[in-house]
Copies of this chain bind each other. A is one copy, B any other.
Amino acid sequence: MDGLIALAAPDMAAVDALIRRHMDSPVPVIPALADHLIAGSGKRLRPLLTVAAARMAGARDDACLKLAAAVEFIHTATLLHDDVVDSSELRRGRVAAHLIWGAPSSVLVGDFLFARSFELMVGAGSMSALEILARASRVIAEGEVLQLTRAHDLDLGQDLYLEIIQAKTAELFAAAAECGAVSAGAPPERCRSLRKFGMDLGLAFQLVDDALDYSSDSATLGKNPGDDFREGKATLPLLLTMARTGPAEREFWVRTVDRREQTDADFQRACELMRQTGALASTLDLARSYADSAKAALADFPANSWRPALEALADFAVGRRA
């Protein structure tokens, strides 16, 4: 994705400056905690999507920069609350904020960032973009609650799993791209295509994330592999492996995932079963097909420099190791 990064570099530097300025507050814990998470950030994929969609749709002004910063704030607020909800220990290669500043501060600074994101949207001045991002924020929360209440369900179907990752992850990718296009005044069918691109990219991204949790290491990943297994989260690799190992292993899954009684060796065994049954490969195949579908959504756009860069982003989402 070097092409995209180079193309968007001036815009992303401006987005970065907006992010820094708007995470400031006279209350010292707020910028300290926010900086811990935001400085640890690597890819800034979501704001990159907003900028790329806007510029590809012909945006000439800077409204998309404020929207991009707003998108990153929504994402960061979600991460802060997620880590409290999941009691995660690592995030973006650093100790999770709630372990340093406490869960109450993480919850409240998440609220601060969420509110700031709406202040930034107001600054961008597009009611349509506001509508898209307010709706996305609500859908994300619904997806998180759905995941929380159904997480340990061994019989969670693949459809419901896809519904959860669409809501908690792909919706923000979709909204990030769509609000960029809308703020640029793109025609409705272009806005829909960019929304579709974001949605499919987000699904591919989350599927790969869920696979990496069983196949990477913490140094590469920036968080602990095996977190999903330890939390008993029924992600696609696990659902497929359980289905394919059948009654023979049912007891193993009930103990480790449902009751969460685990030894270190259990995670290794789960990883092995995942490889043996081809569940990891199937998860990555599905990610690949969503990435292809994302690229297809760009077919009607003029082949300017942004289009191949976004196509490469879809390939990156599937090929990445972290």
Point out residues on A near B: beta carbons under 8 Å: 25-30, 77-78, 81, 84-86, 103-105, 107-112, 114-116, 118-119, 121-122, 125, 127, 130-131, 134-135, 137-138, 140-142, 144-146, 148-149
Residues of B within 8 A of A81 (CB): 107-108, 111
Contact of A107 among B30, B84, B109, B149 (CB under 8 A): B84
Contact indicator A112/B138 (Cβ below 8 Å): yes
* A38 vs chain B, min Cβ distance (A): 16
Give 25 pairs: A residue, B residue, CB < 8 Å, sorted on A. A25-B145, A27-B142, A27-B145, A27-B149, A28-B149, A29-B148, A30-B142, A77-B111, A78-B111, A85-B104, A85-B107, A86-B104, A104-B148, A105-B148, A105-B149, A107-B107, A109-B141, A111-B114, A112-B138, A115-B137, A118-B134, A119-B135, A121-B134, A122-B130, A130-B130
* Oligomer: number of copies: 2
Contact A145 B112 (CB under 8 A): yes
Chain B residues whose C-beta falls within 8 Å of the C-beta of A140 in the assembled complex? 111, 115
Instruction: Check A142–B25 contact: CB distance below 8 A.
Output: yes
A138 pairs with B122, CB closer than 8 A: no
